[in-house]
Amino acid sequence: MGDCEFVGSDLVGEEQLIAAANCIIKALSSNISLSDDTKSVMVDLCSKLSLITTQNHQIGVTKDRDVGLVDEIESRLNVVQKKIMGWEADQSMIWDSAFPNDACDYLNAADDAWELVGKLESLCFEDEHGYELSRKAHDVLQTAMARLEEEFRHLLAKSSLEYEPESVSSHVTEDSVEEGSTSLYRDESFESSVRSCSVGRTLENSIIDLVNSDAVIELRGIANVMFKAGYDQECIQAYNHLRREALNECLSMLEMEKMSIEDVLKMDWVTLNSKIRKWNRAMKRFVRVYLASEKFLCDQVFGDEGLVSLSCFVESSKASMLQLLNFGEAMAIGPHPPEKLNRILEMYEVVGEHLSDIDTLYCDDVGYLVRIEYHDVLNSLGKSVTATFLEFGKAIAANTSPNAFAGGGIHHLTKYVMNYLLILTDYGDSLNVLLGDGEDVYPNSPSSSENPSREEEKEGEFSPMARHFRSVATILESNLEEKSKQYKDPALQHFFLMNNIHYMAQKVRGSELSQIFGEDWVRKRYMNFQQHVLNYKRASWNSIVLYLMEDGVQHPGSNSVSRNVLKERLRSFNVAFEEIYKTQTSWIVHDSRLRDDLRISTSLQVIPAYRGFFGRCNNHVSDKLIKYTPDDLEGFLLDLFEGSPKSLANTNRR
């Protein structure tokens, strides 16, 4: 380029660039011809210069625009700050304001603060003013969020409804929203489906309002703004704290106090029995009504936030649920006296009844702890039922008395066992499951002879519960056999067994136990009962009736009994009858029909024989020696088995 040489000169940077540009301009002004390569280079140079010019123009425009945007943000921020700080000077609660639009305006201002913070964070500030503006926006947002947290707590607390343990009202979804409410922060489509989705169809009809329905809408609006601004944990903590306290209050209303396992194990049975009844009622009410309603409330307030709703529900209800389960666990691991069996069965069935409810409410990993604890308590109660049933049989076998049971009546043990078995029929499904697992709880019981008949096997009557009930009955019969041996009088031994076996058979035949024991078992007991009746009559009356017979005492060649023999027999009969009368009027048959039947059968055995004997005595014995007529004896027999001893000594009815 001729005179435009500057290579190696001291020019640097822009000066060198300017010198090169001047050189090019000078060369182009001399009208020199340019080669194709030179023209190509010059075209590239023009393109570079054009691009640089455009970029510089855009930078200038952007700077001007950012300045305008910052001014706009600052102006909006000042308006928002005025609204937010205006309520900081006022000690009253915003959601208590007499002006419905105040709450909505505040939420809008808080939402604007969050939006402005986001816009400022997207800008790259290079001056102090920009940084100060950003800090100011953050301070306003933090002030707004702190106030919303306080308002959230206040609104949730004041709008919570009192628990009413004896009433359940189904939830009614509001179709309209009051003017001035924060409806813009709710999803109408969600509102229509949350109820059934949150708790399932089974629990849906049990839901009640735990918080005023209008307040729920406001709470959800506050939660939405706080979550959007990143203050979700503050909102969740406020909610969990208040609802945890509310559920604890609910347990108090249901008369469930906090107790350790040690406290439960130290309780006497009367107190514990009352606690179990209250616990059963509380479990039904708490799970199906209050937990379902609590889950629904969480979904209403936090339903847009995915698993947050479930997490809040679990966190707020976990302590109360574990408190209830703690009592169930204490009952399961405690001692197993027989009187606890039906109460533990009640608890087992209550827990089992709500198992699917708990699985629905405490779903996913977040609910695992409560869910697994609930399943563990159910299993523990089931094992306790089996252990207690085993103790029941052992207690029957070990029951002893130092003395024979007075009057040969129905022993207390017989009544207790049979009535207890009758009570247990209410828990048939549970017992068939629990007693059907594993081995027989009475493997060494004398019930091996009580195998089911073919008809019973065919009809499927010999269920696990039937097998174990039969074992218990057989243990009872063995115990009664031993108790009968305490009587010295063989007649009273059979009388005692007759009474008790009849009671057992009647108790089974006339109740739900008949479906469990089966007709074959009842038939065998009646046969056994009839045998004891026969043995009783033989031991009591056969010997006395022999006094009235002619057989074996006739004189050779004579068709009549001698007068002396008649007199002796009459005296012996009177003495024996009076002794039996005195003894057996103290014996007792509680069943009136059995008592009448026994009197009639005894009368049929004794009176006809005595009537014939009485006729013979009238012809050969003085009237002074005949103390009783047949009608007298028939009347005396009606005094038997009343449990009130009477005497015929020194009595002459003729």
Which CATH code fits 230-397? Answer: 1.20.1280.170
Closest CA to 182 of 272, 86, 269, 106: 106
Q: What are phi and psi of 89, to 5 degrees?
A: -75, -20
**Which amino acid is residue 420, in one-letter code?**
Y
Mean pLDDT (the chain, rounded): 82
SS (H, E, C) 546-605: HCCCCCCCCCCCCCCCCHHHHHHHHHHHHHHHHHHHHHHCCCECCCHHHHHHHHHHHHHH
Buried b (16+ CB within 10 A) or exposed e, 153-165: bbbbeebbeebee
Model confidence at 635: pLDDT above 90: yes
Kindly tell me the burial class for residue 167, based on how many C-beta atoms sit within 10 Å of its own C-beta (0-12, 13-18, 19 or more): exposed
Question: pLDDT over 90 for what percent of the chain?
Answer: 54
Q: Where are the domains of the chain?
A: 68-159, 230-397, 408-436+464-534, 539-551+561-638
Residue 156 near residue 241, CB atoms below 8 Å: no
Interacting residues of 109 by C-beta distance below 8 A, sequence separation 6+? 80, 83, 84, 144
**Which amino acid is residue 459, in one-letter code?**
E
**Residue with structure tokens 């009736």?**
545
Q: With bands split at pLDDT 50, 70 and 90, how would you rate the model's confidence at 196? A: very low
Closest CA to 245 of 351, 324, 156, 164: 156
Please check whether the two domains, 230-397 and 539-551+561-638, share a CATH topology: yes
Kindly tell me the burial class for residue 453, based on how many C-beta atoms sit within 10 Å of its own C-beta (0-12, 13-18, 19 or more): middle
Model confidence at 443: pLDDT above 60: no
**What single DSSP character describes residue 163?**
P
Residue 19 near residue 32, CB atoms below 8 Å: no
For the whole prediction, is pTM greater than 0.85?
Answer: no
Model confidence at 286: pLDDT above 70: yes
**pLDDT tens for each residue of 461-498:** 578 999 999 999 999 999 999 999 999 999 999 999 99
Residue 292 near residue 206, CB atoms below 8 Å: yes
Domain 539-551+561-638 sits in CATH 1.20.1280.170: yes
pLDDT at 648: 83
**pLDDT tens for each residue of 89-120:** 877 898 988 887 888 999 999 998 888 888 88
Average pLDDT estimate for 629-651? 88
Residue 574 to residue 569: CA distance in whole angstroms: 8
DSSP labels for 306-331?
Answer: TTHHHHHHHHHHHHHHHHHHHHHHHH
Q: With bands split at pLDDT 50, 70 and 90, how would you rate the model's confidence at 19? A: confident
